[in-house]
Amino acid sequence: MSYVANNLKYLRKLKGLTQEQLAEALNIKRSLVGAYEEGRADPRLSNLTNMAEFFDTTVDYLINQDMSNLSEKQWSQLEKPKGKEILAITVDSTGRENIELVPQKAAAGYMNGYADPEFISELPKFHLPVLPSHGTYRAFEISGDSMLPILPGTIIIGEYVEEFQDIKSGKTYILVTRNDGIVYKRVFNYLNENGKLFLVSDNRQYEPYPIDGEDVVEVWASKAFISIQFPDVENDTGISTEQLAKMVLDLQKEIIRLKEK
């Protein structure tokens, strides 16, 4: 269920504005404001973003929260964090948030367009019913072998982390950074101690390294992954499944040879 119509009407009256005044502030027609408030039309993403900016909130709250029933404490929690970008999202026809996919070929563009609603709206989108509905999710196709056994080309689905202080040491995250691009690592949080995050690869051939918290623009806590390749997991003896299959085949051949004697 989308609360856009009720929220728009409520927030407009809260500011003491007429539909004409709000339309002028949003640079749209008054009749369109009326259509939005009566539920006869759904705002485009660009208009939703403008509304969120104007009312000092987020698109997510406009769509998913009944703002007329919020307490004063809840209102303070819904206020847009000062000095931070508003997260750009997309929704389907029912108002449900999509999971946008950032493929490898779009990774460079995402560095410039992560806060651009138009760029985000052009990304591939999908839904996963197994994920909790209260989160905001995005999917990233990873490259490289630094996080083996997670293979290159795997799609990591992350839940948006609004406060970087909430990063839990030892867990894996997708970090969108200004200098290193998009990275998928195991993260250790030392923001309170020295303002840094320590990034560790599961593939021990890669050295851990620190990164300044100020270099990070987005954090997504990994929740699931999608891959069409199965990892070549080694058993306790260090023998890969491919080597094990060859050993079994050789053993079968030897058994047949012995029976024929």
The structural domains of the chain, with segments of one domain joined by +, span: 4-78, 99-226, 235-261
Residue 173: both structure tokens together: 């995250």
The predicted structure's pLDDT at residue 82: 44
Cα dihedral sign, 134-46-113-127: positive
CA gap 56, 47 in Å, rounded: 14
The predicted structure's pLDDT at residue 49: 84
Give the fold, CATH level 3, of 4-78. 434 Repressor (Amino-terminal Domain) (1.10.260)
Cβ-proximal residues to 222 (8 Å cutoff; 6+ apart), any chain: 156, 157, 158, 171, 172, 173, 174, 184
Q: Are 225 and 203 in contact (CB under 8 A)?
A: no
Q: Which CATH architecture has domain 99-226?
A: Ribbon (2.10)
Of 36, 49, 47, the C-alpha closest to 3 is 36
Q: What are the distances in angstroms from CA 162 to CA 6, 78, 81, 261?
A: 26, 12, 9, 71
Q: What are the distances in angstroms from CA 182 to CA 23, 103, 128, 255?
A: 38, 11, 22, 52
CA gap 232, 151 in Å, rounded: 9
Torsion of CA 9, 12, 17, 18, to 10 degrees: -20
Q: 3-state DSSP call for residue 71?
A: coil
What are the pLDDT tens digits along the chain (261 aa)?
Answer: 578 899 999 999 988 899 999 999 898 999 999 999 999 988 887 788 888 888 888 887 888 888 888 766 566 555 544 445 668 888 888 878 999 999 999 998 998 888 888 899 999 999 998 898 888 999 999 999 999 889 999 999 999 998 898 999 999 999 999 889 999 999 999 998 899 999 999 998 999 999 999 899 999 999 999 998 876 655 444 555 566 567 667 777 777 777 676
First and final C-alpha spacing in the chain: 75
- Assign residue 153 a region (left: φ > 0; alpha: ψ between -120 and 50; beta: otherwise): left
| pTM attached to this predicted model | 0.61
CA gap 22, 9 in Å, rounded: 10
